[in-house]
Structure 1
Amino acid sequence: MKNILVPVGSNEHAVNTLQYAIDFADAVGAKIFLVHVYSSPKISGSILKVDQILERDSKAILKDHIKKVDRKNVEIMTSTLKGYTVIDTLKQLSKLLQIDLIIASTKNDGADENIFLGKITGNIIKDTKVPVLIIPKNVTFKPIKKILMTLKSGSLKSVNTLDLLVKIKDTFSSTINLLQVKTPKLDAKDLELNDTLKSHISQLIPTTNATVYQGVLEYLREEKPDMLCVIRRKRGFFKKLWENDRVKKIDFDSSIPLLVLKGMS
């Protein structure tokens, strides 16, 4: 893991997320690309002047965030970018910079308290191919010693899906407990675990619930993990969860960092 992208807004969550990203990058030996994307309004008149103002404000936001964090020894590259859509700009940047991980706030667009994931972070999960680490409000970094991974199907189309999880496990000497949720629509083949996945887990926890999320809630309190890990697939509960621009807390919530890996099966 070499390159971490941290997109930030101007809200109160940004500084906390940036500090978490710095602490995490320091632990794994990565550098940070800190970006703020501003949109140019489609209006007639002096567009150039408006763009100059927006760029100036964008740079001021990043400068203010940097002042409020402990940079440690982490290399931080800052950039303000103009884009008509934030997500398209971030997708292009992720490919250009060969980003290994995106670290983002749960809410970076001023969403209300009933929302777990705001629109921008939701779109990052839905529309990028890069793993995303989502940081809830006020969560501070600590060594990731215990990871609760949850899934419905144990099959993986590509073992590369697990690369980042394995890197975290090796860095922090983490234990990974796998919660496999049996739902009414579960296929028998879904119970078979991928061999690579099986080799990295410390404990398999089978549970039967109406939904994957109910199974997660049941064990979060018991396991008390430092991180929750899920895989976004083309089918299943989490695919449906990310379909909307925003995710309501009633549908999904987490008070610990949430790692979303990108699976293709």
Structure 2
Amino acid sequence: MKTFLVPISCLRDKKATLIYAIDYAKVSGAEMIYGIQLNEISEEDHLEEIMEHAEKQNIAINFRFFEGDTIEYIKEFCEDFNVDLIIASARTPEPNDTLYLDNLSGSIVKKTEMPVLLIPENYEYKPIKTILTAIKSGIVKTKGALIPLEHTLITAKADMTLLQIKTPSYLPEDLMFDKDLAILTSKYYSSENATLFQGVLEYIHVIEPDMVCVFRRKRGFFEKLWDDVTLDHSLDKGVFESRVPLLVLKGDQ
């Protein structure tokens, strides 16, 4: 993974996400970060501080200002510039904030086929030692879906704990495991829960991961994003949230 894209609605408010992206890029061996700014950059946006941090980490960073259909632009940009990963901001985990994903981040998860790393607001980079990957089925249907996970495990020298959550719709064939997923697994847990999110909540304090990894699903974690009744693609914390970086792998599992 060599090229990251960081879409932001406001550079001043999302500075921490860009700083995290720079630090993560350094560890993962990325060479370029593109920042898409939806509003004009002002003197109060700490651009100089961000550029200095990127220079210290030896990471190239390039900003693009854009107006128009944001998601279509992001999809075209990812294809034109061979983007490997989108790093986006999740909402702050403060108790008085009911949203986990705002409309921009929710739309990116729903409407693009890119892997997305969601960073809690104001979250500082920490060494990644343990990744919790939550699944329903052990079969990975999308070719190349595991690349961001595998790359992070190798470059960060981390271990992966696999949590298989058996929901009421669980099928016996879900116990079959993709060989590449099995190779990446250091520990395995199995849990029976009403939803995948409940299974994660049950084990998050047992495993204490530095990153959580899930698959982009039309059912399960992000089911509410596919509700076409509203054009708002935000996601409430009552449906799902993560207080550590969340890696969303492309494709349905």
Both proteins in one fold, TM over 0.5: yes
- The match for 1:204 among 180, 185, 188 is 188
Q: Render the CA deviation track for 1:154-197: whole Å, top value 9, x for unaligned.
A: 11113411011100011011100000001121011112111110
Equivalence for 2:42: 60
1:28-177 correspondence runs (5 A): 28-30=28-30, 31-38=32-39, 58-60=40-42, 64-69=45-50, 70-71=53-54, 72=56, 73-83=58-68, 85-107=69-91, 113-177=97-161
Alpha-carbon distance in structure 2 between the residues aligned to 1:13 and 1:229: 25
Matched, 1:259 2:241: no
Matched, 1:182 2:170: no
**Alignment RMSD:** 1.8
Q: CA deviation at 1:65?
A: 3.6
Q: Could you list the runs of 5+ residues in structure 1 that have no partner in the other structure?
A: 39-57
Alpha-carbon distance in structure 2 between the residues aligned to 1:13 and 1:253: 20
Aligned pair count? 240
Which secondary structure does the structure 2 equivalent of 1:237 belong to? Answer: coil
Equivalence for 1:15: 15
Over 2 Å off, 4+ runs: 63-69
Q: What fraction of aligned residue pairs are identical, expressed as a percent? A: 38
Q: Could you list the runs of 5+ residues in structure 2 that have no partner in the other structure?
A: 228-232
Higher-helix-fraction structure = 1
* 1:9–1:36 contact (8 Å) kept in structure 2: yes
Alpha-carbon distance in structure 2 between the residues aligned to 1:178 and 1:154: 10
Q: Render the CA deviation track for 1:29-65: whole Å, top value 9, x for unaligned.
A: 2110011135xxxxxxxxxxxxxxxxxxx1337x824
Q: Render the CA deviation track for 1:189-245: whole Å, top value 9, x for unaligned.
A: 112111110011001100111111100001111111000000013x43135143251
TM-score by length of 2: 0.89
